[in-house]
Structure 1
Amino acid sequence: MCRLILLKCDRPRRHILIEVIRAARKAKGWLQRSLAARAAVSSQAIYRLERGIGSAKTMEAAAKALDYRLTGVAPGRTLAEQLRNRRVKQKVSISSLAKRTGLSPTTISAVENGGGSIASVVRILKVLAPKAKRRAPERAYWGQGDKEDRDSRFTPEEFMEPVYAAFGDIDLDPCGHPSSPVVATRRFILGNGDDGLRDAWFGRFVYVNPPFSAQLRWLRRAHEQWRMGNAHTIACLVPARTDSAWFHETLRADADVYFLQGRVRFIDLRGGSQATPFSLMLVVFGATAEQKEAFAATVAGFWMDRK
Structure 2
Amino acid sequence: MPPKTIAKAALCDPAQRAAVKYAPFDLCAEVKHARIANLLSPDELAVYAGCSAKDIHDIEAGGGKVEHLARVMDSLKIDLTAIKRGTMLHARLTATRQAKKWTIEKLAARTGLCIQRVADLEMGKVDVKDLLIVLNTLEPHYRRRASPSTQDAHDKDSRFTPPSIVQAIQSAFGTVDLDPCAHSNSPMRAANQIKKEIGGDGLNEEWEGRLVFVNPPYSRASQWLTKVNAEWEKGKIDTLLCLSNAKTDAAALHKALQRGAWVFLFEGRLKYLKPDGTSEPSSQASMMISYGTSRSQREIFAASVAGSWLALST
- Shorter-chain TM-score: which interval? 0.7 to 0.9
CA contact (8 A) 2:66 2:127 kept: yes
Instruction: Specify the alignment match of 2:243 in structure 1.
Output: 237
Q: Which residues in structure 2 correspond to 1:1-307 (within 5 Å)?
A: 16-27=26-37, 32=42, 36=46, 41=51, 44-142=54-152, 146=154, 149-182=155-188, 184-249=190-255, 251-270=257-276, 271-276=278-283, 278-296=284-302, 299-306=306-313
Q: Deviations over 1:72-117 (max 9, x none)?
A: 1223443233323322333433333222210122222332343333
SS of alignment partner, residue 180 of structure 2: strand
Letter in 2 for 1:225: E
Structure 1 residues 262 and 29, CA gap change in structure 2 (3 angstroms): closer
> 4+ runs of 1 displaced by more than 6 Å?
none
Unmatched segments (≥5 aa) in structure 2: 1-23
Matched residue type, 1:72: A
Larger radius of gyration: 2
Amino acid at match of 1:119: K
Distance 2:34 2:193 in 1: 22
Q: Distance in 2 between matches of 1:122 and 1:223?
A: 53
Q: Percent identity?
A: 31
The one-letter code sitting in structure 1 at the alignment partner of 2:281 is Q
| CA distance in 1: counterparts of 2:92 and 2:119, whole angstroms | 13
Q: CA separation in 2, counterparts of 1:185 and 1:35?
A: 21
When structure 1 is superposed on structure 2, of 76-85 and 41-50 the one drifting more is 41-50
Q: Residue deviations 1:109-135, cap 9 Å, x none?
A: 332343333222111111111121222
What is the identity, as a one-letter code, of the residue corresponding to 1:174? P
Deviations 1:175-228 (A, max 9, x none): 233333445444433223333223443433222221111111111222233223
Give the alignment's Cα RMSD to 1 decimal.
Answer: 3.4
- Contact 1:240–1:281 (Cα < 8 Å) also in 2: yes
- How big is each residue's C-alpha offset from its partner over 1:140-168, in whole Å with a ceiling of 9 and x where there is no partner? 455xx95xx11122333444454444433
> What amino acid maps onto 1:180 in structure 2?
S
Q: Quick one: structure 1 residues 176 and 20, their matched pair in 2 at CA, closer, same or farther if it must change by over 3 Å?
A: farther
Measure how far apart 1:25 and its partner are: 4.5
Checking the alignment, whether the CA contact within 8 Å between 1:259 and 1:304 is kept in structure 2 is: no
Give the corresponding residue for 2:18: none
Provide the C-alpha distance between the structure 2 equivalents of 1:199 and 1:32, rounded to a whole number of angstroms.
36
- Aligned AA for 1:101? T
Residues 163 and 38 (structure 1 numbering): CA distance in 2 closer, same or farther, change over 3 Å? closer
Report SS of the residue matched to 2:157.
coil
TM-score normalised to the size of structure 1? 0.76
Q: Determine if contact 1:37/1:183 at 8 Å carries over to the other structure.
A: no
Return the alpha-carbon distance in structure 2 between the equivalents of residues 250 and 82 of structure 1: 52
Structure 2 distance, partners of 1:156, 1:238, is 13
Contact (CA 8 Å) 1:34, 1:181: kept in 2 or not? no
Q: Distance in 2 between matches of 1:55 and 1:302?
A: 41
Amino acid at match of 2:124: G
Comparing 209-218 with 49-58, greater Cα deviation is found at: 49-58
